[in-house]
Amino acid sequence: MFSRNLARGLAARGHEVLVIAPSQTGKKYKEIDGNYVVARTASVVFPFYQNFRISLTPYSEVKKIIDEFEPDIIHIQMLLMIGQAVMRYGNKHNIPIVSTNHAMPENLMDNLKMLAPLSRPINYMLKRYGVNFYSKADYITMPTQAAIDMFGLSTKKTKIPLEAVSNGIDLSRFSVGKISKETIDKFKLPTNMPIITYIGRVDAEKHISVLIHAFDQILPKLDMHLLIVGDGTDALNLRELVKELGLSSNVTFTGRVSDEEIVDLHKVGTVFCMPSPAELQSIAMLEAMASGKPVVAVDAGALKELCQDGRNGYLCGKDDDKAIAKSLLKIINDPKLCKSMGEESVKIAATHDLRKTLEKFEEIYTNLINQ
């Protein structure tokens, strides 16, 4: 999402932008996404991750694409496969490179259950690989300072400029308001009770099952609804869990939705919950905050930079469904607190305007090119 926001934003500001990404069909092709081009490299299905494709040996394709485009600067968003090929090409041809990290090893490992016993050493090796990869760039950014700290990165270790630059969100799209009747009718959402929302990828590393167990504890005390927006590898498991707990009439799974529907669905909830312990920022939570929602999140990853405990929501321990249930109830049962926390969320989100992010990357690009 950040990569797309950045590409569209830079193109709108007059820059010529090309994105290289894996094909979604297997065969290479080009497509137009509004105001910029996406060059898709030949790919295969990644067997451990639903709807995820990777390009195994993309160097020759990457070389041809970059030769034709002749970029002034390269910005790498992913450190595997295409990222490796692009880094190699940029280093060889002396093109300045910015590299941004968006992933934690846990994003992958939580979806590979068979490797769970080896998760600690594998996570360590992946982090060391990441540090080695970024050392080949000319400038490194991560969405938050917490993300930099988690990887143990520093300019002393890498000898490369390193900075926290927020992913940012388009504040012209996400704001406080009422959900449209069309969206309420389409997803059959209740209008006579509080709604807890989760919006984002529905994958194992998001720990959405913890939210469902918390919701199960709340329901006997207060009539309410849970809205889960998105799709992913864990969707079927979560639907089964909801069925087993007898919550089907109180939980809505929307599946994949359009960009416009996401904006509308952020307006529907009373409170937004992010149970994932593996976030380097969380664009979805930022969008919810800009839409005026108090938040409950896990005190892990970088979420504490957005969910400021006691100000705009509450932080809970990892996988602590009882604490999450208690925090959600505390906000929902106190309309005055809910309103004030929502207002604070808006103030915090206002400091993450996408325009500032675009300006910052323009500054980074310009300085590197001039050097």
Same domain, 271 and 152: no
Same domain, 149 and 13: yes
Q: Which residue has the higher pLDDT, 129 or 7?
A: 7
Same domain, 65 and 151: yes
Could you tell me if residue 295 is inside a domain? yes
Given pLDDT bands bounded at 50, 70 and 90, which one contains residue 219? very high
Same domain, 81 and 195: no
Could you tell me if residue 338 is inside a domain? yes
Same domain, 74 and 208: no
Predicted pLDDT at 119: 56
> Tens digit of pLDDT for each residue in 129-183?
777 888 899 999 999 988 888 777 665 666 889 999 999 999 999 999 999 999 9
Same domain, 263 and 219: yes
Could you tell me if residue 25 is inside a domain? yes
Average pLDDT along the chain: 91
Q: What angle do CA 71, 73, 107 make, to 5 degrees?
A: 115
Same domain, 139 and 207: no
Q: Has residue 123 got a pLDDT over 90?
A: no
Same domain, 106 and 149: yes
In Å, what is the CA distance from 210 to each residue of 274, 309, 323? 10, 19, 11
Q: The domain containing residue 229 runs over which residues?
A: 181-352
The C-alpha atoms of residue 295 and residue 307 are separated, in whole angstroms, by: 6
Could you tell me if residue 175 is inside a domain? no
Domains identified in the chain, total number: 2
Q: Is the sign of the CA dihedral 358, 206, 322, 246 positive or negative?
A: positive
Could you tell me if residue 172 is inside a domain? no
Same domain, 140 and 54: yes
Same domain, 87 and 64: yes
Predicted pLDDT at 53: 85
Residue 45 identity: V
Predicted pLDDT at 124: 61
Could you tell me if residue 85 is inside a domain? yes
- Cβ distance 98 to 361 under 8 Å? yes
Could you tell me if residue 146 is inside a domain? yes
**Domain CATH code at residue 246:** 3.40.50.2000
Which pTM value belongs to this model?
Answer: 0.86
Could you tell me if residue 251 is inside a domain? yes
Q: Has residue 81 got a pLDDT over 70?
A: yes
Q: What is the largest CA-CA distance in the chain?
A: 64
> Tens digit of pLDDT for each residue in 235-266?
999 999 999 999 999 999 999 999 999 999 99
Same domain, 124 and 186: no
Predicted pLDDT at 109: 47
Q: Has residue 101 got a pLDDT over 70?
A: yes
The C-alpha atoms of residue 107 and residue 238 are separated, in whole angstroms, by: 18
Same domain, 241 and 346: yes
Most confident of 33-42, 98-107, 133-142: 33-42
Predicted pLDDT at 345: 98
- Cβ distance 139 to 160 under 8 Å? yes
